[in-house]
Amino acid sequence: MFDIGQILVNSVVTSSLYLLAGTGLTLTYGLSRFPNFAYAEFITLGAFCGLFFLAKPDGVFFLALIVAFLVAGFVSASSYTLVFRPLVERKTSLIHLMVASIALGYVLRHSMGESWGWSAQAYQIMWPVYNIGNVRITGLWIILIATAVLTAVALHFFLTRTRAGKAIRAIASNPDLASVTGINRQKVVLLTWFFGAGLAGVAGVFRAADTRLFPMLGWDILLPIFAVTILGGIGSFYGLIIAALLLGLAENFGVVLLSGLGLSTEYRMAIAFLILIGVLIIRPKGLAR
Strand 129-132 to 135-138 pairing: antiparallel
Total site size for another protein, rule CB under 8 A: 18
Burial of 158 (0-12, 13-18, 19+ CB in 10 A): middle
Q: Could you say which of 176, 261, 266, 282 contacts another protein (CB under 8 A)?
A: 176
Q: Could you say which of 170, 191, 249, 258 contacts another protein (CB under 8 A)?
A: 170
What Å distances lie between residue 222 and 102, 161, 198, 249, CA to CA?
Answer: 12, 30, 16, 18
Q: Could you say which of 27, 167, 190, 199 contacts another protein (CB under 8 A)?
A: 167
Q: Is 169 in the site for another protein (CB under 8 A)?
A: yes
Q: 253: how many CB neighbours lie within 10 A of its CB?
A: 17
Spell out, one character per residue from 184 to 223, where the chain touches another protein: x when CB under 8 A holds, - when not.
Answer: xx--------------------------------------
- Residue type for position 288: A
Q: Could you say which of 111, 124, 174, 265 contacts another protein (CB under 8 A)?
A: 174
State how far the Cα of 35 lies from the Cα of 281, in Å rounded to an integer. 19
Shortest Å distance, C-beta 157 to another protein: 14
Q: Is 257 in the site for another protein (CB under 8 A)?
A: no
Shortest Å distance, C-beta 172 to another protein: 7
Q: Is 181 in the site for another protein (CB under 8 A)?
A: yes
Q: Which of 221, 231, 222 is nearest to 275 (CA)?
A: 231
Q: Is 162 in the site for another protein (CB under 8 A)?
A: no
Q: Could you say which of 119, 173, 259, 265 contacts another protein (CB under 8 A)?
A: 173
State how far the Cα of 262 lies from the Cα of 285, in Å rounded to an integer. 35
168, 159 Cβ separation under 8 angstroms: yes
Shortest Å distance, C-beta 55 to another protein: 45
Shortest Å distance, C-beta 167 to another protein: 7
Q: Is 163 in the site for another protein (CB under 8 A)?
A: yes
44-103 residues in contact with another protein (CB under 8 A) are none
Q: Is 180 in the site for another protein (CB under 8 A)?
A: yes
251, 272 Cβ separation under 8 angstroms: yes
Q: Which of 104, 9, 68, 106 is nearest to 208 (CA)?
A: 68
19, 152 Cβ separation under 8 angstroms: yes
- Residue 134 or residue 179: which is nearer to another protein going by CB? 179
Cα torsion at 81, 84, 90, 93 (round to 10°)? Answer: -170
Specify the 3-state DSSP secondary structure of 42: helix
Q: Could you say which of 111, 179, 259, 265 contacts another protein (CB under 8 A)?
A: 179
Q: Is 280 in the site for another protein (CB under 8 A)?
A: no
- Residue 14 or residue 28: which is nearer to another protein going by CB? 28
Q: 287: how many CB neighbours lie within 10 A of its CB?
A: 17
Q: Is 166 in the site for another protein (CB under 8 A)?
A: yes
Burial of 176 (0-12, 13-18, 19+ CB in 10 A): exposed
Q: Could you say which of 182, 261, 264, 266 contacts another protein (CB under 8 A)?
A: 182
Interface residues toward another protein, by CB under 8 A: 163, 166-167, 169-170, 172-174, 176-185
